[in-house]
Amino acid sequence: MHHGASRTVSKRTVPRLPHFLGFGIRRPTRVPLINASHRAARLVWAREHRKWTLEDWKRVAWSDESRFRLLHEDGRLRIWRQALEAMDPACQA
C-alpha cells in the first residue's frame, strides 16, 4: 500500500494507526436527558403521589429495562474518540 509518492505502508499498519494516535473504540459519554420542564413535571408528580400508601404502590405494575443478546453484537453504540474527548458534545449520546 502506498501513502504519497515516497512512503510504503504495510496493510497491517493502517488499522493500527488510530490506536497509535491515541484513539480507541469507546462508549459515548451519557448526558442527562432531563431539562427544566422535566424537572418541574417530576416535582408535580412527586407531590401528587406523596401521600400514597403501601397499598397504593402495590397496585403499580413495575417494569424492568433489561438487555438481552441473541447474537454477539450487543447493539450498544461505540465511537472512535481519544480519552480526553469524553465531554466533547460530538462524542456524547
9-58 pLDDT per residue, tens: 888 888 888 888 888 787 777 777 788 999 999 999 999 999 999 999 99
Cα–Cα distance, 49 to 10 (Å, whole number): 65
Residue 30 maps to a domain: yes
Q: Whole-structure pTM over 0.75, yes or no? A: no
Q: What's the domain count of the chain?
A: 1
**Tens digits of per-residue pLDDT, 53-77?**
999 999 998 887 776 666 666 667 7
For residue 35, how many C-alpha atoms fall within 13 Å in the half-sphere facing its CB?
1
Structural domain containing residue 42: 13-51+74-91
Cα–Cα distance, 40 to 34 (Å, whole number): 10
Cell numbers 469507546: residue: 26
Residue 34 maps to a domain: yes
Residue 33 maps to a domain: yes
Residue 68 maps to a domain: no
The number of residues making up the chain comes to 93
Residue 4 maps to a domain: no
Residue 80 maps to a domain: yes
Would you call 18 helix, strand, or coil by DSSP? Answer: helix
